[in-house]
Amino acid sequence: MDLFTFIKPKNELEQGDDTTVNKPYVPDEMWVKCPDCGTLLLTTDIEENFHVCSKCNHHFRVGSRKRIDMVCDKDTFKELDADFVSKNIIDFPGYDEKLESSKRRSGEKDSVVCGTCKIDGIETVIISMTADFMMGSMGTVTGDKITRAFEYATENGLPVIAFTVSGGARMQEGILSLMQMAKTSGAVKLHSDAGLLYITVLTDPTSGGVTASFAMEGDIILAEPGALIAFAGPRVIEQTIRQKLPKDFQTAEFLQEKGFVDKVIDRRYLKETLSKLLKIHNYTEVQ
Amino acid sequence: MSAYDNVLAARSTKKLTSLDYINALFGDSFIELHGDRNFADDKAVVGGVGMLNDIPVTVIGLEKGRNTKERMERNFGAAHPEGYRKALRLMKQAEKFHRPILCFVDTSGAFCGIGAEERGQGHAIATNLMEMMALKTPILSVFIGEGGSGGAIALAVADEVWMMENAVYSVISPEGCASILWKDSSKAAEAAECLKMTAKDLFNLGVIERILREPTAGDQKMFESMKLLICRTFEKNLAVSGEELARLRYNRFRKIGQQ
């Protein structure tokens, strides 16, 4: 506190210079502004509406745990490999700090949460990525957890549902993260050869090494409305070809039109759709 | 030599390209096979069949081109989805006839463009990774220049991966890494060091099996010894059952970054 503030009369100090004090007070966390239509939405309303804007249908990004809550039957989620933690294996400058801040921000140890759960009573393995942890990038821990989740599903004859959100392979782990593309693909292949179902749900954004590996390897590929789904991100393409891209390029709808997504699906009908698909593939309720 | 000098050496236009290697190793026996049977023939990928001593082999290479005209035609070795799909078609054909597969990798990366995205670049690479892992025939990948990220690994899910002493292999180009991390692409030299992308680094990380001395054009003696090395590896792997090869290949990748 400087001297001026110290000698300032107390009533003035409380009033401060902030001109907003006379406006009605609304805590930040009570309202969210929809980035698409600009509507102010009550946080509680959004939560009830699966984090979808009630006016324009914009799908907000959600973290991995919330995602699991949205589709799993209550209290059925059991996490696998919860204690795996990323390390700075190739001694990349600044990576330790980045890991620390990501852990703090997301409350997670890595960019993916894997486990088993039930959807309408049907047991399944679930893989859920989060953008809050280094933009969902895939490092060795991410790759290993996903691989092990597939191996667990193969051993136990379970289907796999994967929610993807990722900027791609994590460059701070160099070539070792690139190798995770091959590793996860190998695990998907073994699961597939065992005749088991794999559904991917691509969410905003899914790109790079994740798009070019397990995200695009599902038997059925679903995607959330408006999600950016790309191999190379739009900025990289614009720089390469030196021209502006059309507005809806690389959206979920665009990919469906081009034949790379089975169905764009509203989050509010997601659980219902997953449940139907599981039943169509002869998976049944377990007690 | 610094890591970045190594990157520049790997990119040098004086370097031998896949076709140089194919011609030197296979001679007149090489027959090029074109097209992905779906969309087009991508000239950034050359593929075909030929004899390596007395072993019939399917050979596939990412080809940058040897002069300006060729480089334009071959899109500087940056393949489109149809290139990767052609490669997979030839690999499946090799599996059918139980022929070993030899891949040469030399690319700055899979092409980033409108057509590439529209035709599913990510899907094409993903499919290659998945299918190559389970191919029931021997695969050997040799990095002869640049190994750029997803575009390189799409031809490198192999039983063994070898690199020329001056080749590089990385998750991202050092320029790209520097511009994302430090908003400054001129720090590429620093990024090249950090990324651990030289043949020696990758050998130490357990990602490749062998570093090769680089032959110079016309040095047939060196090509002969390279041919011998490849043939020995194929003979060894042809004696192993296809199922076992696929299992070993999965384990090879499985242990990288295992917790």
* pLDDT tens digits, A219-235: 999 999 999 999 998 88
Contacts (Cβ under 8 Å, ≥6 apart) of A15: A21
Let me know how long chain A is: 287
ipTM value greater than 0.90 = yes
**Helix (H), strand (E) at residue B90:** helix B81-96
By the CB < 8 Å criterion, does B189 face chain A? no
Question: Which of A140, A147, A236 is facing B112, going by the closest CB pair?
Answer: A236
Q: Percent of chain A at pLDDT above 90?
A: 73
Region class of A177: left (phi > 0), else alpha (psi between -120 and 50), else beta: alpha
In this predicted structure, the answer to whether residue A25 has a pLDDT above a threshold of 60 is no
Contacts of A138 in chain B (CB under 8 A): none
Query: Which CATH code for domain A62-280?
Result: 3.90.226.10
Domain limits, chain B: 3-248
Give the closest-approach CA distance of B219 to chain A in angstroms: 32
| CA end-to-end span of chain B | 33
pLDDT tens figures, A26-62: 556 788 888 889 888 888 888 888 999 988 989 989 9
Shortest CA distance to B129 belongs to which of A93, A269, A217, A144? A217
Confidence of residue B184 (pLDDT cuts 50, 70, 90): confident
The label of the residue with tokens 């999600």 reads A227
CATH superfamily of B3-248: 2-enoyl-CoA Hydratase; Chain A, domain 1 (3.90.226.10)
**Distance of CA B96 to CAs A205, A211, A221, B59, B93, Å?**
38, 29, 29, 15, 5
Given the structure tokens 């902030």, which residue do they identify?
A18
Of B28, B20, B22, B25, the C-alpha closest to B67 is B20
Whether residue B254 lies within 8 A of chain A, CB to CB, comes out as: yes
Helix axes A174-193, B242-254, angle to 10 degrees: 140
d(CA A52, CA A261): 21
Cβ of residue B248 closer than 8 Å to a chain A Cβ: no
Instruction: Give the pLDDT score at A15.
Output: 47
CA-closest candidate to residue B177, choices B1, B4, B2 = B4
Residue A10 has pLDDT above 80, yes or no: no
Rounded-to-integer distance, Cα B84 and Cα B78, Å: 11
Alpha-carbon dihedral sign for residues A144, A149, A155, A160: negative
Task: Flag whether pLDDT at A13 surpasses 80.
Answer: no
Phi and psi at residue A133, to the nearest 5°: -105, 100
CA–CA gap between residue A89 and residue B194 (Å, rounded): 11
Contact A124, A78 (CB under 8 A): no
Q: Dig out the tokens for B77 from the structure.
A: 């070795």
Mutate to test the interface with B, among A170, A179, A189, A211 (most CBs of B within 10 A): A179
Condensed to tens digits (0 to 9), the pLDDT of residues A156-192 reads 999 999 999 999 999 999 999 999 999 999 999 999 9
Phi, psi of B130 (to 5 degrees): -70, -45
